[in-house]
């Protein structure tokens, strides 16, 4: 802290020092009441200063330093209380953090286990999906081939009442090559 005394001159020929002790702006340290005061703005000490103000200046300086020291001590005590409070709060938060950290590790382990299970199931699902697609394509090919075969059979001979339909559960359809030209013949036998 840097003390800066304000010098004031009024109608008298000498400068006085503003009253720092009591905080009065209309009086000097020596008690002199100002008449039309003019504060000297230069940072230098005037040539002529009231001797009584100069004698009291050390007392005013001591009062200011004491006040600054008391404020610093009060601030330090307040900071000490705040530090103690914040330190206790920090300890409580740290304990809470440690609990959450353990929970986090446990949850992360569970997540990794579940993710690994998901990956295994996804591989199984992909395999089953491919198998399903293969079976679907095969079934579609079988339906198409059956439709072609039924169409050729219907075109080859008119259906009479003695022959049962190909789709009957008691009928088996056998396709065999009739000749080398790729023609297909059909024989239906009772099961």
What secondary structure, in 3-state letters, does 121-152 show?
Answer: HHHHHHHHHHHHHHHHHHHHHHHHHHHHHHHH
Residue 164: inside a domain: yes
Please say whether the dihedral angle defined by the alpha carbons of residues 93, 94, 98 and 101, taken in this order, is positive or negative: positive
pLDDT at 3: 55
- For residues 103, 104, 109 and 110, what is the CA-based torsion angle, rounded to 10 degrees? 70
- For residues 116, 119, 123 and 125, what is the CA-based torsion angle, rounded to 10 degrees? 110
Residue 165: inside a domain: yes
Residue-number span of the structural domain to which 24 is assigned: 7-76
Residue 166: inside a domain: yes
At a CB cut-off of 8 Å and minimum separation 6, what does 164 contact?
Answer: 170, 171, 188
pLDDT along the chain (191 residues), means of 10: 66 75 76 73 72 81 85 92 92 94 95 95 95 95 93 74 52 41 45 37
Residue 2: inside a domain: no
Decide which of 76, 95, 117 is a domain's last residue: 76
């Amino acid at each position: 802290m840097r003390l800066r005394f304000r010098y004031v001159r009024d109608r008298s020929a000498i400068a006085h020092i503003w009253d720092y002790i009591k905080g009065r702006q209309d009086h000097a340290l020596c008690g002199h009441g100002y008449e039309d005061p003019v504060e000297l703005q230069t940072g230098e000490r005037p040539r002529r200063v009231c001797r009584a103000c100069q004698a009291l200046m050390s007392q005013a300086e001591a009062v200011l330093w004491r006040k600054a020291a008391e404020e610093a001590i009060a601030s330090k005590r307040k900071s000490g209380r705040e530090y103690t409070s914040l330190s206790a709060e920090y300890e409580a938060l740290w304990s809470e953090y440690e609990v959450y950290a353990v929970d986090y590790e446990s949850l992360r382990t569970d997540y990794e286990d579940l993710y690994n299970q998901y990956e295994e199931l996804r591989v199984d699902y992909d395999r089953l999906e491919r198998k399903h697609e293969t079976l679907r394509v095969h079934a579609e090919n079988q339906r198409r081939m059956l439709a072609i075969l039924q169409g050729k059979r219907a075109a080859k001979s008119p259906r009479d009442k003695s022959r049962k339909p190909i789709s009957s559960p008691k009928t088996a359809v056998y396709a065999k090559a009739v000749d080398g030209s790729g023609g297909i013949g059909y024989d239906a036998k009772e099961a």
